[in-house]
């Protein structure tokens, strides 16, 4: 039990640890073997049962037919004995004096017709008649001769049984142990014994015995019961009269075992004799009450069925061989794409992100390969985005480092200039220095990529303050950002490059007064920022280059094109497709920039 439990635990684990090819191989072999065993076993059982039923039916039919043939023979002898006993010549013979010369002539000529009658019955081997007055007569066909005295015969059990029947026939076996009649018996015999009744006085007047050689009976059942391995003829006391035992199945010691099975007039049973299973069929001979028994060895019976088992084993072996090659073919078709996929994964692991796997079928493995290829593409795109984002961040940090060198030194210097201007009572200079300081603080923002909208607004206002001081009455601006969105986070410095472009291409390039408006609001879950000016505008070629080629640095016609391209790429890295940047412009009609991004709370 412990071994079985251990096997039930370890086998699934060991099986699942096998390669897929070996799993399929074992699975195919086991399934086909089980199916073949089930079908073969079922065929064997069905064929065995069918054969057993057929043999049983044939044996019953044959043994009943043989029993009827022997019964017919015995009844014929009984009828013949009746005819003889009632014959007047026989009646005279058994009641006459044996010593008279007239008797001898009578016997010689009177029994001649009887001799002719008996001679016509080839199955009768010996017949004799005793008279109470001392007369006796016998006829032999097998070389047997001599009769015991009637007085000796009357002492035997056979005579006593016949006497008790008062003229009715008695069938007995005359073997070497109970042959009380013939002094020189050349062959084993069975005999019909009956007393002769005087028709005048109705008293017993003699004894008649008609014998049949046992070999004749044996020839009858040997011909009729060819399918039996052993045939036994039993008398009323279940003693063996004759037998034909070619397979040595039964002996006299086995008869008591069979006796309880002989209760009916005929039938069949399955029993065990000498350690072997046998089919036991029997039938009763009505005339004598004897039993004719047929025994068939089941092992011999099923020899013909063993070819089914041999064929089953051959089929199982063939199926195992076929399943072996089939499983190799199927597993190769299934495993090879998986192995290719695994090798591709190893190459991807080593850094080759351009790896692809080819598979031409649309099954589950094909879907897996397709998804794997898509995953590699997405992974490559993601790596490119992250790599570019890191480059932009490093670039921004480098520029911040280059621009500021030492932020504390810059803040302290600007603070010192601010207080000197205050003491010199120069409020305009103080205001400009304060605005510039705030711009530097916002640009740095402690290295954060996202800042609050209000910080971006403050940055734009300080930047425009300084630009307003620079261009004086030539620049007019307004910053109109809703207070409701001031606490949302946005990428830092995404508005300043567009504001700077508007000043450069509007205020600086045009002698007329320029107007710049920056607005911001929340619409349908998106933050909408607009930078609109009345500057010179952008020609179609430059505008198309900005919209299509923002990733390149080919912006020589637009001074701040690189900064705008940088903003566009940052928005794509942060928001993917969930953002928009529109540029609307015509020469002489100004420019309008619209940026739409998802809102991000505190």
The 8-class DSSP code of residue 123 comes to T
Q: Considering the chain, what is the average pLDDT of its residues? A: 77
> How confident is residue 106, by pLDDT bands cut at 50, 70 and 90?
very low
CATH number at 119 reads 3.30.450.20
Q: Which residue, of 276, 299, 322, is where some domain finishes?
A: 299
pTM of the model: 0.51
The answer as to whether 339 is a domain residue is no
> How confident is residue 103, by pLDDT bands cut at 50, 70 and 90?
very low
Q: Is there a contact between 281 and 267 (Cβ–Cβ < 8 Å)?
A: yes
The 8-class DSSP code of residue 571 comes to H
- Give the Cα separation of 399 and 369 in Å (integer): 44
CA-CA-CA-CA dihedral for 198, 200, 201, 206, to nearest 10: -10
Mean pLDDT on 360-376: 77
The pLDDT of residue 466 is above 70: yes
Under DSSP, is residue 517 helix (H, G, I), strand (E, B) or coil? strand
The answer as to whether 165 is a domain residue is yes
The answer as to whether 12 is a domain residue is no
Bridging pattern class, strands 514-523 and 475-481: parallel
- Give the Cα separation of 549 and 563 in Å (integer): 13
Chain-centre distance for alpha carbon 360: 29
Alpha helix segments (H runs only) across 140-272: 150-153, 157-165, 214-224, 255-258
Residues in CB range of 232: below 8 A, 6 or more apart? 240, 242, 243, 245, 250, 292, 293, 295
Q: What is the total count of domains within the chain? A: 2
> How confident is residue 476, by pLDDT bands cut at 50, 70 and 90?
confident
Longest dimension (CA), the chain: 198
The answer as to whether 182 is a domain residue is yes
pLDDT at 193 (0 to 100): 94
Mean pLDDT on 418-435: 68
Least trusted range by pLDDT, from 130-144, 173-187, 204-218, 538-552: 538-552
The answer as to whether 235 is a domain residue is yes
> How confident is residue 553, by pLDDT bands cut at 50, 70 and 90?
very low
- Give the Cα separation of 429 and 419 in Å (integer): 10
The pLDDT of residue 169 is above 90: yes
| Between 477 and 399, residue with greater pLDDT | 477
- Give the Cα separation of 568 and 556 in Å (integer): 18
The answer as to whether 485 is a domain residue is yes
- Give the Cα separation of 239 and 255 in Å (integer): 8
pLDDT at 405 (0 to 100): 45
- The owner of tokens 């349908």 is 524
> How confident is residue 520, by pLDDT bands cut at 50, 70 and 90?
very high
The answer as to whether 45 is a domain residue is no
Under DSSP, is residue 167 helix (H, G, I), strand (E, B) or coil? coil
The pLDDT of residue 104 is above 60: no
Q: Is there a contact between 173 and 236 (Cβ–Cβ < 8 Å)?
A: no
Going by C-alpha positions, the residue among 489, 488, 518, 490 that lies closest to residue 503 is 518
Least trusted range by pLDDT, from 153-157, 328-332, 369-373, 461-465: 328-332
Tell me whether residue 58 is exposed, middle or buried, using C-beta atoms within 10 angstroms of its C-beta: 0 to 12, 13 to 18, 19 or more: middle
Going by C-alpha positions, the residue among 530, 517, 540 that lies closest to residue 587 is 540
CATH number at 530 reads 3.30.565.10
Going by C-alpha positions, the residue among 121, 155, 118, 161 that lies closest to residue 137 is 118
Q: Which residue, of 248, 279, 299, is where some domain finishes?
A: 299
- Domain residue limits at 153: 54-299
- CA–CA distances in Å: residue 365 to residues 1, 28, 333, 353: 42, 21, 10, 21
pLDDT at 42 (0 to 100): 81
The pLDDT of residue 25 is above 70: yes
The answer as to whether 206 is a domain residue is yes
Mean pLDDT on 567-593: 85
pLDDT, tens digit (0-9, with 9 covering 90-100), for 273-291: 766 778 888 889 888 888 8
The pLDDT of residue 296 is above 50: yes
150 forms bridges with which residues in the sheet? Answer: none
Under DSSP, is residue 591 helix (H, G, I), strand (E, B) or coil? strand
Q: Which residue, of 299, 314, 339, is where some domain finishes?
A: 299
């Amino acid at each position: 039990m412990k071994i079985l439990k251990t096997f039930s635990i370890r086998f699934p684990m060991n099986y699942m640890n096998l390669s897929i090819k070996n799993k399929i191989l074992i699975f195919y072999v086991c399934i086909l073997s089980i199916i073949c065993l089930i079908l073969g076993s079922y065929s064997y059982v069905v064929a065995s049962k069918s054969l057993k039923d057929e043999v049983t039916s044939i044996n019953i039919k044959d043994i009943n037919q043989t029993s009827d043939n022997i019964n017919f023979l015995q009844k014929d002898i009984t009828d013949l004995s009746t005819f003889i006993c009632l014959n007047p010549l026989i009646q005279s013979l058994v009641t006459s004096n044996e010593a008279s010369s007239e008797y001898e002539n009578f016997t010689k000529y009177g029994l001649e017709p009887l001799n002719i009658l008996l001679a016509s019955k080839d199955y009768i081997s010996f017949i004799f008649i005793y008279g109470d007055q001392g007369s006796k007569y016998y006829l032999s066909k097998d070389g047997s001769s001599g009769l015991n005295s009637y007085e000796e015969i009357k002492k035997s059990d056979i005579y006593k049984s016949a006497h008790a029947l008062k003229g009715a026939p008695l069938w007995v076996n005359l073997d070497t142990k109970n042959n009380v009649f013939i002094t020189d018996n050349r062959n084993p015999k069975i005999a019909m014994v009956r007393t002769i009744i005087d028709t005048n006085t109705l008293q017993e007047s003699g004894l008649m015995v008609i014998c049949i050689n046992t070999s004749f009976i044996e020839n009858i059942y040997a011909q009729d019961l060819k399918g039996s391995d052993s045939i036994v003829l039993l008398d009323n006391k279940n003693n063996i009269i004759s037998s034909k035992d070619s397979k040595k199945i039964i002996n006299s010691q086995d008869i008591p075992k069979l006796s309880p099975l002989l209760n009916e007039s005929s039938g069949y049973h399955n029993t065990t004799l000498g350690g072997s299973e046998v089919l036991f069929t029997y039938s009763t001979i009505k005339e004598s009450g004897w039993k004719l028994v047929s025994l068939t060895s089941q092992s011999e019976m099923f020899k013909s069925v063993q070819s089914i088992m041999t064929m089953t084993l051959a089929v199982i072996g063939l199926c195992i061989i076929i399943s072996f090659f089939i499983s190799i073919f199927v597993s190769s078709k299934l495993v090879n794409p998986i192995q290719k996929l695994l090798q591709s994964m190893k190459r991807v692991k080593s850094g080759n992100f351009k790896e692809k796997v080819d598979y031409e079928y649309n099954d589950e493995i094909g879907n897996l390969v397709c998804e794997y290829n898509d995953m590699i593409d997405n992974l490559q795109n993601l790596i490119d985005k992250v790599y570019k984002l890191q480059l932009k961040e490093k670039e921004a940090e480098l520029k911040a480092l280059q621009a500021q060198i030492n932020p504390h030194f810059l803040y302290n210097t600007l603070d010192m200039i601010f207080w000197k201007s205050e003491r010199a009572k120069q409020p305009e200079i103080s205001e400009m220095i304060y605005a510039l300081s705030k711009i530097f603080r916002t640009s740095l923002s402690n290295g954060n990529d996202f800042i609050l909208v209000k910080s971006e607004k403050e940055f734009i206002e300080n930047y425009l303050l300084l630009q307003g001081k620079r261009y004086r009455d030539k620049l007019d601006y307004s910053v109109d950002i809703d207070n409701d969105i001031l606490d949302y986070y946005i990428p830092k410095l995404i508005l300043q490059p567009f504001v700077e472009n508007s000043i450069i291409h509007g205020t600086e390039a045009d002698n007329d007064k320029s107007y710049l408006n920056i607005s911001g609001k929340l619409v349908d879950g998106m933050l909408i920022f607009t930078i609109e000016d009345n500057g010179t505008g952008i020609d179609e070629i430059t505008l198309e280059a900005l919209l299509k080629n923002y990733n390149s640095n080919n912006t020589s016609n637009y001074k701040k094109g690189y900064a705008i391209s940088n903003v566009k790429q940052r928005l794509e890295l942060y928001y993917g497709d969930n953002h928009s940047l529109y540029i609307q412009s015509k020469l002489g009609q100004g420019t309008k920039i619209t940026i739409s991004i998802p809102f991000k709370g505190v």
